[in-house]
Amino acid sequence: MNIKILNQIATQMVTESKGILAMDESHGTCKKRFDALNIEATEENRRLYRDMLVTAESLSSYISGAILFDETIKQKTSQNLSFPDYLKKIGILPGIKVDTGAKPFSCHSNEKITEGLDNLPQRMEGYKSLGAKFAKWRAVITIGDDIPSTACMIANSHALARYASICQEVDIVPIVEPEVLMDGPHNIQECFDVTNKMQSILFEELDKLDISLSGIILKPNMITSGSDCKIKSSSEEIAELTVRCLGNNVPIEVPGIAFLSGGQSDTEASINLNNINKLNDNPWKVTFSYGRALQLEAMKKWNGNNHNNLDAQKIISKRAHMNSLASSGQYNLSMEND
């Protein structure tokens, strides 16, 4: 493990108000989104779609890294370069999703544990040889009747720490993603309480396994009310509670926070990120690692037809620009009409 290299990569991932493009959707997730638009979910269509995203003009002005899926990291772009080589050529760090998904957590109804540790050291060596500079592992925590259990939070946090250790051993920066899901009728205070506890447990587990905190990126959820909650929280309240939660738990050694969008609309994700940055007086950089909140409208415009590439690329570039502005507290909703 080279702590200096890890810190250099992690710092580059959150530099200059740039964010991370999450384009690591599994086949199942990608199929759902393609099916909704009547796009055939083939390997070639997935390649063409992701090629459209990464070749968007000026993308590297706002995006520091791109999280790839196992299929994509082995494919080539329209310029006959591998995706990692093309990304490096334009100044974007290539990353890779390495977990194998959330599965039912034994003896704990309605809870999940993320799997993928089997053979991970060997897989990580393979991804490094393909050009990956960072990786991502997502844990999912559900708020519901009598859940989440402490056992679920500890088990997922330990898996995140194991994954982070394996990454750092080969000088790959781990994105550590403990997502408390927005799904459900819970209020914003319940989200705060669960997220606060989950982040506390997570950093305890990272410490136990001697993870170099200067060589990780935290990818948390924002503190919001549940998607089915009757009382919707203001962006100001979301920002205040989110910054408080991070301040309670995130050590100063961590170079940056890259928020997931977690079901927010594209403009909600930008507004909330902007307000968080206006309040944040902690030392770490606060930016974005969005999937749907960056891609959805661009995917609709593309719609499986490469003749639509330029129009779709304008959308992905604009959303990346808006979120880059939000990462420095300079975003305003009126900019959406420019």
Which among 84, 16, 17, 87 has a CA at the least distance from the CA of 55? 87
Active-site hit among 25, 111, 177, 179:
177
Active-site hit among 97, 133, 219, 285:
219
Inter-residue contact 95 to 126 (CB < 8 Å): no
Helical axes 188-208 vs 150-169, angle rounded to 10°: 50
**What is the token pair recorded at 222?**
């924002």
User: Catalytic annotation on 219?
Assistant: yes
Q: What is the DSSP letter of 286?
A: E
Bridge partner list, 288:
259
Our CA dihedral for 201, 184, 261, 24, rounded to 10 degrees, sits at: 80
Please, what is the Cα angle at 181 between 189 and 17, to 5 degrees? 90
Q: List C-alpha distances in Å: 238 to 87, 272, 284.
A: 34, 7, 19
Buried b vs exposed e over 96-122: b needs ≥16 C-beta within 10 Å? Answer: bbbbbebeebeeeeebbbbebbeebee
Q: Which residue has the tokens 């990120």?
A: 273
User: Catalytic annotation on 97?
Assistant: no
**What is the token pair recorded at 39?**
């796009």
Please give the positions annotated as active site.
177, 219
